[in-house]
Amino acid sequence: MAGVIARRARRQSVFRWIVLVVLGIFFLLPLAAMVEFSTRDSSTWPLLVHWSQLTEKYPDLTDGILQSLGQAALTAVLMLVLLVPTAIWVRLRLPKVRRLIEFLCLLPLTIPAIVLVVGLAPVYAWVNYFLGGSSLTLVFAYAVLVLPYSYRAIDAGLSAIDVKTLAEAARSLGSGYAKVMWSVVLPNIRSAVLSAAFLTVALVLGEFTIASLLNRTNLQVVLVLVGKNSATVSVAVSFVALLLAFVLLMLLSLFEKRSVKGSKGAS
Amino acid sequence: MTGVAVHLDGLRRTFGSVHALDNLDLKMEPGELIALLGPSGCGKTTALRVLAGLEDADEGRVVVGGKDVTALPANKRDMGMVFQAYSLFPHLTALENVEFGLKLRGRRREAGRAASMLDLVGLSGFTGRYPHQMSGGQQQRVALARALAIEPTVLLLDEPLSALDAKVRVQLRDEIRRIQTEVGTTTLIVTHDQEEALAVADRVGVMRAGRLEQLAAPADIYRTPATAFVADFVGLSNRLPGTVVDGQVSVLGARLPIIDGASAAGSVTALVRPEAVSVTPAEEGEGRVLTSSFLGPTSRVTVTVGDVLVVAQVASASLDQLTPGTAVTLTLEPIPVALES
């Protein structure tokens, strides 16, 4: 009996390693190919670490990087400002509309980006009229685009605590609603808020369709353009962007692990 | 800290078609501890939440210390509250939790007030602990200290012990009473545990369908229940068939005074407490012991008399003589009983 169990455990262990290796090859091979390709031109990587030279040689590329970083930061801020108070308020005062809000927030997931653009185009005609054609105006579209992911993250954070009781306890001690949100709820969903922000940044850095079709600039749009002149630079920057997203997701899982560890304790 | 009088006048609150509060009146004396007791859905928690300002009444007034606070939001009412669910802020230590209300009042630096409150609830060594590092009982103690730290006009306890295990519950229940007596804050506790209500309260209010059925001292609630519902809900009662004769009820051959039997007549059901029934072994007795349960100092014996089942409370010492099948006679003490028509 013990021999059978040991054999089975060994087989499972071997199977796990095979899966890990196959998946590792599947994900790492393209990355290795990117590195290999981008190093064929020996001037590519040195250029990337010299911002001034890069700006001189590929002004659109540095502009695209800055635009994307600006869009990512502003989208994260806009998303948090809109979503966190809304999600808390719905939990506290409007529990009946929670399903509706969830449905609305998940809608962008079911609508293809190309269809979204068709709807957004006339809206952006007005945005152009009032705010000009800056690429940073994409944050409005992106704030909608990231809703499904960020809503899920924040909602999961709120589900992990008894928002209603905590808010009522704070109110009975003399807190107004603003204080309840800022001093009681927000500190307890910090990791969820960070998750939502990281996901937003990762998503915005990889967005191409909406920016391209609305004639705005961001990293992905510029990469396509640069790729036509210098494929190695384009691939090298794509590689860095991928690594950045990877690091962000690693940080996210690290924060989640820390918050799980923090919430465990004596009964 | 001195208590203030609290008046709930004609409170009404409906949720859809359900009347959670139906013209509820309650007057609390300064420093008094009242327990609201009743079955689930009787409106006791709604009454407490309306008093706290966490729920709005459709009609009626809430007057605290002579001041109408009906329109005031919860954060302006100056009431301390302990909840059924653990409500400590998870990101703050025990001391920071207690300081929370003081900070809002700009009294954070008031020489060690938060620490002395933790001392009052017996947790002076736990100041740096986070809620997840404390047991349920300790968390509820900190919640009590936090509620008391702000020197509330009224202390509200919403089933604060229901999530705790039996031993801790009894211990903390006694402590709540001690602390309440010490600080003298007018206190309303809501519970569905009758033992808890009878043990801690100056007066107990038994609620049913949004109304107070009876508000009286614990002993009066138990001994002279105003209605059959109160008699049935508080403590155990035998439902025995009887007949009203000359203002008394005849049950199993005994004549018992009636609590509220002025209008009752003919066949009725009398609610007789198990401790009012004495069981004596007798060969020619009309009853037979069906079951007997040992409960510690006292025991419970179930006796059949014809079709009627009678539960009696007996001294455990006499349990040996009352084994199942023993023939017995029953004697009912002439304690006033409630009638169910």
Q: What would the two tokens of residue B86 be?
A: 């653990």
Contact A165 B83 (CB under 8 A): yes
Contact B75 A175 (CB under 8 A): yes
Chain A's closest residue to B135, CA to CA, is A267
Domain assignment present for B1: no
Distance CA B51, CA B28 (A): 12
Distance CA B311, CA B340 (A): 18
pLDDT of residue B14: 92
Contact B83 A263 (CB under 8 A): no
Most A CBs within 10 Å, among B45, B77, B81, B87, to test the A interface: B87
Residues B175-206: b if buried by 16+ CB within 10 A, e if exposed: bbbebbeebebbbbbbbbebebbbebbbbbbb
ipTM of the complex, rounded to two decimals: 0.83
Identify all chain B residues contacting A262, using CB atoms and an 8 Å cutoff: 132
> Is residue B32 located within the same domain as residue B80?
yes
Q: DSSP string of A142-202?
A: HHHHTHHHHHHHHHHHHHTTTHHHHHHHHHHTT--HHHIIIIIIHHHTHHHHHHHHHHHHH
Contact A174 B101 (CB under 8 A): yes
Distance CA A46, CA A33 (A): 19
Each residue's pLDDT, cut to its tens digit, for chain B (341 residues) gives 578 999 999 999 999 888 899 999 999 999 999 999 999 889 999 999 999 999 999 999 999 999 999 999 999 999 999 999 889 999 999 999 999 999 988 866 666 889 988 988 888 889 999 999 999 999 999 999 999 999 899 999 999 988 888 888 888 888 889 888 988 899 999 998 888 999 999 999 999 999 999 999 999 998 888 888 898 888 888 999 999 888 888 998 889 988 865 567 788 888 899 999 999 998 888 899 999 999 888 999 999 998 899 999 999 988 888 989 999 999 999 888 888 76
Alpha helix stretches (DSSP H) within chain B? 44-52, 94-104, 113-120, 136-149, 166-183, 194-200, 218-223, 228-233
Mean pLDDT of A78-106: 91
pLDDT of residue B142: 94
Number of domains chain B is built from: 2
Distance CA B233, CA B243 (A): 23
> Is residue B46 located within the same domain as residue B192?
yes
Domain assignment present for B229: no
Question: What Rg value do the Cα atoms of chain B yield, rounded?
Answer: 24
- Which of A161, A172, A176 lies at the smallest CB-CB distance from B90? A161
Distance CA A177, CA A179 (A): 5
> Is residue A143 located within the same domain as residue A240?
yes
Chain A's closest residue to B49, CA to CA, is A168
- Which of B80, B83, B136 lies at the smallest CB-CB distance from A168? B83
Mean pLDDT of A108-132: 88
Question: What's B320's domain CATH number?
Answer: 2.40.50.140
Give which of B183, B171, B223 is closest to B3, Cα–Cα: B183
Tens-place pLDDT, residues A161-179: 999 999 999 999 999 999 9
Contact A173 B146 (CB under 8 A): yes
pLDDT of residue A260: 56
Last-in-domain residue among B197, B223, B249 = B223
Distance CA B152, CA B148 (A): 6
Size of the A and B interface in Cβ pairs below 8 Å: 78
Percent of the residues in chain A that have a pLDDT greater than 90, as a whole number: 44
Identify all chain B residues contacting A189, using CB atoms and an 8 Å cutoff: none
> Is residue B187 located within the same domain as residue B80?
yes
> Is residue A12 located within the same domain as residue A55?
no
Chain A's closest residue to B88, CA to CA, is A166
Question: What angle is formed at CA B258 by the lines to CA B257 and CA B260, rounded to 5 degrees?
Answer: 155
> Is residue B245 located within the same domain as residue B178?
no
Strand order in the sheet with B59-64: B18-28, B6-15, B59-64, B67-68
> Is residue A126 located within the same domain as residue A256?
yes
> Is residue A139 located within the same domain as residue A77?
yes
Distance (Å) from the alpha carbon of A74 to chain B's nearest alpha carbon: 28
> Is residue B203 located within the same domain as residue B328?
no
Q: What is the DSSP pairing of strand B186-191 with strand B33-37?
A: parallel
Distance CA B137, CA B132 (A): 12
Distance (Å) from the alpha carbon of B153 to chain A's nearest alpha carbon: 12
Computed over every residue of chain A, the mean pLDDT equals 88
Contact B87 A173 (CB under 8 A): no
- Neighbour-count burial of B105, counting CB atoms closer than 10 A to its CB (0-12 exposed, 13-18 middle, 19+ buried): middle
pLDDT of residue A265: 41
Give which of A107, A121, A181 is closest to A149, Cα–Cα: A107
Contact B75 A174 (CB under 8 A): yes
> Is residue A13 located within the same domain as residue A58?
no
Q: What is the DSSP letter of A112?
A: -
Domain ranges, residue B308 = 239-340
The HSE-up count of residue B279 (CA atoms within 13 Å, CB side) is: 33
Q: What is the DSSP pairing of strand B33-37 with strand B79-82?
A: unpaired
- Which of A161, A172, A188 lies at the smallest CB-CB distance from B79? A172
Q: What would the two tokens of residue A251 be?
A: 């940080």
Distance CA B193, CA A239 (A): 65
Identify all chain A residues contacting B90, using CB atoms and an 8 Å cutoff: 161, 188, 263
Q: DSSP string of B187-206?
A: EEEEES-HHHHHHH-SEEEE
Domain assignment present for A222: yes
Last-in-domain residue among B169, B195, B223 = B223
Distance (Å) from the alpha carbon of A106 to chain B's nearest alpha carbon: 30
> Is residue A118 located within the same domain as residue A232?
yes
> Is residue B214 located within the same domain as residue B275?
no
Name the pLDDT band for A264 (thresholds 50, 70, 90): very low
Identify all chain A residues contacting B88, using CB atoms and an 8 Å cutoff: 169
Question: What's A214's domain CATH number?
Answer: 1.10.3720.10
Chain B's closest residue to A187, CA to CA, is B91
Identify all chain B residues contacting A261, using CB atoms and an 8 Å cutoff: none
Domain assignment present for A43: no
Chain A's closest residue to B51, CA to CA, is A172
> Is residue A20 located within the same domain as residue A53?
no
pLDDT of residue A62: 86
Last-in-domain residue among B196, B223, B250 = B223
Contact B83 A169 (CB under 8 A): yes
Identify all chain A residues contacting B134, using CB atoms and an 8 Å cutoff: 266
Domain assignment present for B147: yes
Distance (Å) from the alpha carbon of B85 to chain A's nearest alpha carbon: 7
Domain assignment present for B233: no
The neighbour count for residue B97, using CB atoms within 10 Å, is 27
The HSE-up count of residue A49 (CA atoms within 13 Å, CB side) is: 3
Residue B333 backbone dihedrals phi, psi, to 5 degrees? -75, 145
Identify all chain B residues contacting A191, using CB atoms and an 8 Å cutoff: none
Domain assignment present for A44: no
> Is residue B290 located within the same domain as residue B166?
no
Look at residue A133 and tell me whether its pLDDT is greater than 90: no
- A253's CB contacts (< 8 A; 6+ apart) are none
> Is residue A19 located within the same domain as residue A79?
no
> Is residue A29 located within the same domain as residue A131?
no
Number of domains chain A is built from: 2
Domain assignment present for B234: no
Chain B's closest residue to A259, CA to CA, is B91
Chain B's closest residue to A161, CA to CA, is B90
Name the pLDDT band for A47 (thresholds 50, 70, 90): confident
Contact B89 A166 (CB under 8 A): yes
Contact B81 A172 (CB under 8 A): yes
Domain ranges, residue A6 = 1-38
Domain assignment present for A53: yes
Q: What CA–CA distances, in Å, run from B151 to B103, B186, B232?
A: 13, 11, 38
> Is residue A253 located within the same domain as residue A169?
yes
Contact B100 A170 (CB under 8 A): yes
> Is residue B77 located within the same domain as residue B210?
yes
Q: Compute the CA torsion angle B239, B243, B249, B255 (nearest 10 deg).
A: -100
Identify all chain A residues contacting B142, using CB atoms and an 8 Å cutoff: none
Domain assignment present for B231: no
Contact A168 B91 (CB under 8 A): no
- Which of A171, A184, A266 lies at the smallest CB-CB distance from B89? A184
Q: Which long-range contacts (CB under 8 A, 24 or more apart) does A131-134 make?
A: A133/A215, A133/A216
Mean pLDDT of A214-220: 89
- Which of A165, A175, A267 lies at the smallest CB-CB distance from B87? A165
Q: What would the two tokens of residue B85 be?
A: 């669910």
Q: What would the two tokens of residue B16 be?
A: 């859809």
> Is residue B215 located within the same domain as residue B248?
no
Beta bridge partners, B310, equal B303
Distance CA B147, CA B97 (A): 10
Identify all chain B residues contacting A188, using CB atoms and an 8 Å cutoff: 89-91
pLDDT of residue B108: 61
Give which of A71, A77, A114 is closest to A220, Cα–Cα: A71
Distance (Å) from the alpha carbon of B207 to chain A's nearest alpha carbon: 24
Q: What would the two tokens of residue A142 be?
A: 């992106």
Domain assignment present for A92: yes
> Is residue A119 located within the same domain as residue A213?
yes
Q: What is the DSSP pairing of strand B287-294 with strand B298-305?
A: antiparallel
> Is residue A148 located within the same domain as residue A116?
yes
Distance (Å) from the alpha carbon of A168 to chain B's nearest alpha carbon: 7
> Is residue B244 located within the same domain as residue B219?
no
